[in-house]
Structure 1
């Protein structure tokens, strides 16, 4: 093989493997080299670019032309130049360019550009900034199921008053989204919205964080308002209220009843004007029964009660949720994923989603990190635990499974409880009070369980 042919093979292999984009044009401004990496960065296939003028392929903002064309026409060399421009599909690209004219015997015969991709980094920074100040409203709610529509309707009604609201739902169901929507739909929307996860507060500091401190109350204490004062004129959300210690729950109840707060170490009572929202990730009746939530505090907080059903009980919402998150990460990652493959869709509908909507988002995001040029999410893109589940639930025809797959304990108990409660209701002709007495439950606890289990109340 001639030496020149060998060099060409080595050059082509180099262009495939290097982790930077390479774009070269000839003296006429037409593309002669467009490697794999630059194709990935600019989301354009080589066939769309090769042998075409650069000016016809990309759109630059006014006053900022192509660095390649500038190098060709003016012999200008530039290093580490950040540019944002549009490709032939209108997608925005942000990259760092190193651009050089190519000379032969003193004459410019072309130009070469080496590119590093920072589009995704830019998108991530912008997304984080946007999320830091994001204010959710009811139009951000995604759900077509009757259960979801019902809780949204009740939440919208709650915007008309200043009553306390207790939002119940499993982790990942979107409790804070509901809380923000209630605040932003109310007359207090121009006031502050302050959210605090009670489970994340150290017990030794929690009282001062909530109620404020007076200078000298303890070593290092300063005059500092607590969350109740900071939320004045607006809304305070206490997330995972059942994580508060009992003595703090007692003080919280006093603050709610008296509408005033006393800073730690102080004797002065300060009036507060807030709307209090709280969330809990378990059955509040169970939390009261087991001493994790004071009964009097529960009654005070649950003037309005919202129960967000878990995703497994409203699977008709799964497809619109997936579509929403695919669109979100298409924008963020500069991808063009259109859908889930049929195999992935079947797997998703078989899965019980213990992490609810938050888990759906994480699975979609993780999968799309593995997508390259595909236009749909395949099983090979899924996280390992879901791929394993697929291999168990859909074995090859020739394979004989060693053991039948065990149901998840949570699903098994849910179904058994539903059957048991339905049988008890049927026995007492669906009279709720009589059924509750027979089961050793309060009427309210039985009604809560019926709602959670998806059992319709025929008689009262």
Structure 2
């Protein structure tokens, strides 16, 4: 069969080669006989935190620093003519940043003569950094004495946590972002019989999907390129407590392996055939309703039931707004000491805004708001509205504009001819105010509830009650 010939001009062919090189997921680096870079693809640039124009046409030794013998694996292949597969190398880029790769390097030959060298690299920099930092025992800074608040909601969950701390059972901590889930976890560990053991904390959302299993369960040498014999988080926490933050982001297959480890009290390192016994208390956190997570396919039902021997629901700040003045004072004192300032507090206007604001970021958002405001205070003795973030100031002015457009400069109820008792008058105030907040949010009950500082269920109860009262009158 006669072959098909395709004619492509040289410029187009080079463009095709360049496009092809940028699509592969390995780093590719080619040098000529002088050690100058002639090919340097997109992935290699990303791995080495460089721009291609800073590397192309320059000698490798002018761009990178190699502590081992002063040579790179690429230049060694050029000098010796020997191919070397899967060699780990650590070096520094122009800015002094540490890079670690696994390289397969080989000379490029033409008519038996070396005309250059090729290196195909895989990055393990992030893995190296995570293994050095994640697999260290965390120190517990918080105890139950660190908790701030006197509201019924926070007192109730704190007492439940103190009772649960006495045992070795797993605990699931449920709460929105910024409600203090890790603070509770550390307090539980500190008050538990395991307080002398390690406390290891890991945010599961911060783990790359490809590395999660090895980091949690450990690795054996040869399990994959660059893998070493290392204990995982579960082994590191042996005799103590491990906190798995945002558990629901783990893949379902990995959740199944975690369930097995909890039930059998053993783990198997990645690439190993030996089961190792562990004695670890599991604390886990989740930011969404567990039943929603199960329904949405983010959390295995069997793992949920195994972990939730005790479940703690941390209240959002909008449901414990009575604690806002105390928290505000605490954070002002904290950052006064840190910044060497002497701000006395917040203005009445700011406190009024704080009490009505829904705080979607909860206590963490309040703390960051105070910290940011103190950065803007100069000679003032109090935090004013002008010191708050722009989105808060806009929300304040927007709410005032809505009230003005509604003809509301002060909340009032039309008086009738008969005097009414205080209870009925306050009930009317509540109904009118709720209706106006609902109108501002176009009838959105969840948004109105956040604005009012009550739960969605509480607002729905009020609306149903008033609807029934109207129906009875009709």
State the TM-score, normalizing by the size of structure 2: 0.59
Residue pair 1:192, 1:235 contacting (<8 A) in 2 also: yes
**Pick aligned residue for 1:411 from 440, 447, 452:** 447
Match of 1:317 among 320, 323, 328: 323
Q: Deviations for 1:165-189, whole angstroms, at most 9, x for unmatched residues?
A: 0000000000000000000111111
| Equivalent residue number for residue 185 of structure 1 | 191
User: Cα deviation per residue 1:31-58 (whole Å; 9 max; x = unaligned)?
Assistant: xxxxxxxxxxxxxxxxxxxxxxxxxxxx
CA shift digits 1:314-353 (9 cap, x unpaired)? 1001111101100000001111111110110111111100
Residue 200 (str. 1) matches residue 206 (str. 2): yes
Which residue of structure 2 aligns with residue 359 of structure 1?
Answer: 365
Rounded to whole Å, the distance in 2 between the matches of 1:208 and 1:398 is: 59
Q: From 220, 224, 229, give the equivalent of 1:223.
A: 229
Q: CA deviation at 1:413?
A: 7.2
Q: Superposition RMSD on alpha carbons, in Å?
A: 2.6
Q: Deviations over 1:228-282 (max 9, x none)?
A: 0001111000000110100000000000000000001101010001111000001
Q: What is the Cα deviation at residue 393 of structure 1?
A: 2.3
State the match for 1:123 in structure 2: none
CA distance in 1, matches of 2:395, 2:464: 35
In the alignment, which residue of structure 2 is the partner of 1:62?
Answer: none
| Aligned residue in 1 for 2:336 | 330
Corresponding position: 1:262 with 2:298:
no
2:352 equivalent among 346, 359, 376: 346
> 2:376 aligns to what SS in structure 1?
coil
1:227-238 to 2 correspondence within 5 Å? 227-238=233-244
Aligned-pair distance for 1:134? 5.6
Corresponding position of 2:257 = 251
Alignment of 1:70-109 (within 5 A): none
Question: Per-residue CA shift, 1:136-188, capped at 9, x if unaligned?
Answer: 00000001110100000010111110000000000000000000000011111
Counterparts of 1:279 and 1:143, CA distance in 2: 21
The 3 A distance-change label for structure 1 pair 344 and 284 is same
Match of 1:151 in 2: 157
Native 8 Å contact 1:395 1:401 kept in 2: no
Q: Tell me whether 156-165 or 412-421 shows the greater mean CA deviation.
A: 412-421
Find the counterpart in structure 2 of residue 210 from structure 1: 216
Task: Write the distance in 2 (CA, Å) between the matches of 1:350 and 1:250.
Answer: 43
> For 1:399-443, what per-residue CA distance to the aligned partner results, in whole angstroms no more than 9, with x for missing partners?
888997437774347766545578999xxxxxxxxxxxxxxxxxx
Deviation sequence 1:45-97 (CA, Å, 0-9, x none): xxxxxxxxxxxxxxxxxxxxxxxxxxxxxxxxxxxxxxxxxxxxxxxxxxxxx
Q: Distance in 2 between matches of 1:147 and 1:157?
A: 16
Q: Which residue of 2 aligns with 1:305?
A: 311
1:162 aligns with 168
Contact 1:246–1:292, Cα closer than 8 Å, also in 2: yes
Distance 1:421 1:248 in 2: 41
How many residues align structurally?
Answer: 294
- Give the 3 Å change call, closer, same or farther, for CA 218–396 of structure 1 in structure 2: closer
Separation of aligned partners in 2, 1:134 and 1:268: 32
TM-score (normalised: structure 1): 0.60
Alignment partners' CA distance in 2, 1:319 and 1:371: 19
1:369 to partner: Cα distance: 0.4
Contact 1:367 1:377 in 2 (8 A): yes
Match of 1:277, SS? Answer: strand
Whole-Å separation in 2 of the counterparts to 1:273 and 1:356: 34
Question: After TM superposition, which residue ranges in structure 1, 4 or more long, deviate above 6 angstroms?
Answer: 396-404, 421-425
* Structure 2 residue matching 1:299: 3-state secondary structure: helix
Residue ranges of structure 1 left out of the alignment (5+ in a row): 1-131, 426-460
SS of residue paired to 2:163: helix
SS in 1 for 2:293: helix
Residue 377 (structure 1) aligned to one of 354, 371, 383 = 383
Q: Deviations along 1:270-297, whole A, 9 cap, x unmatched?
A: 0001111000001001111221111100
Partner of 1:387: 393
Contact 2:446 2:456 in 1 (8 A): no
Change (3 A) 1:392 1:237: same
